[in-house]
Amino acid sequence: MMTFSMKRVNAIFLKDWKDMQRNGYVLITLALPLVFAAWIGRMGEGSTSLAAMPITFALVIAGAFVQAAMVAEEKEKNTLRGLLLSPASTMEILVGKSLLSGVSTLVIIIGSIFLADFKVPSLPLFAVSILLGLVTFLAIGTLLGLLSRTVMETSILGTPVMVVFGMAGIFKEMISNETIVAVIDYLPSEQLAAVWSGLENGSEVGSHLLVLTVWAVAAVAVTVVVYKKRRMD
């Protein structure tokens, strides 16, 4: 059985880091949540739900959108094929390809917290919710990248994902269909908001963390299945 090698993961990470430094599209995209957070911070509304929006935005943009673009760029340059045929295992490649986006997303989230003046209600449980959200959106981003043929195509596929997973809650008040509203309530972004609101109010958040765990496991499982199919193809 092949053992997990941090050396291979680190090699993939360093390659992605060099590619990111030359990719203006990715760097500009990463800055968007920070600009949004700074704007909210200047408004000085003091609303926890409003201040938390840049964090969700960071997960969707930096976690899913950027991850999708980086994976699709590998495909567009035809370098992903070499990676798929390399001795690296499925887990090493998926972790390595997600590591830079994950670290970048965490940095963006920390920056957004300070710029938006978001008061972290309970650091341990807040960190758990961020980790589950990060795994979910990185997996979704990887999946989008694998399904896209070019970086431009990730924008076409990724925009609906960004709207549904990042901004569906904004449109919830306009929807009268109770079934659709119930589905929206179970989306990762809404579950994250429910966790943060519950922590602030002292409410029970275990059920929301459980739903986020299901999302994370399901997203990773689907991504692994699609990755293995692409590897065979």
Question: Does residue 188 surpass a pLDDT of 80?
Answer: yes
Contact status, residue 68 vs residue 148, Cβ threshold 8 Å: yes
Rounded Cα distance between 84 and 86, Å, is 6
pLDDT of residue 138: 92
Residue from 78, 84, 109, 114 nearest 96 by CA: 84
Between 88 and 200, the higher pLDDT residue: 200
Q: What is the pLDDT of residue 117?
A: 81
Which tens digits make up the pLDDT trace of 86-137?
667 777 778 888 888 889 899 999 998 888 888 887 889 999 999 999 999 9
pLDDT of 209 reads 95
The pLDDT value recorded for residue 210 is 96
pLDDT at 206: 92
Which range is most confident: 52-66, 111-125, 205-219?
A: 205-219
Residue found under tokens 């360093």 = 14
Number of Cβ within 10 Å of residue 229's Cβ equals: 10
User: What would the two tokens of residue 206 be?
Assistant: 């275990």
Most confident by average pLDDT, 15-19, 55-59, 86-90: 55-59
d(CA 97, CA 76): 15
- Of 42-51, 140-149, 213-222, the range with the highest mean pLDDT is 213-222
Query: Which candidate, 136, 21, 20, 5, places its Cα nearest to that of 71?
Result: 20
pLDDT of residue 47: 59
Contact 182, 168 (CB under 8 A): no
Question: What is the tens place of the pLDDT at every residue in 115-126?
Answer: 888 888 788 999
Contact 69, 145 (CB under 8 A): yes
**Residue 20, Cα to own-chain centre: how many angstroms?**
17
C-alpha 95 chain-centroid distance: 14
Q: Give the pLDDT of residue 48.
A: 66
Look up the pTM and report it.
0.87
Q: Is the pLDDT of residue 1 over 50?
A: no
181, containing H or E segment: helix 178-185
Find out whether 63 and 30 touch, Cβ atoms under 8 Å. Answer: no
- DSSP-assigned states of every residue in 121-134: S-HHHHHHHHHHHH
Domain chopping of the chain, boundaries: 6-232
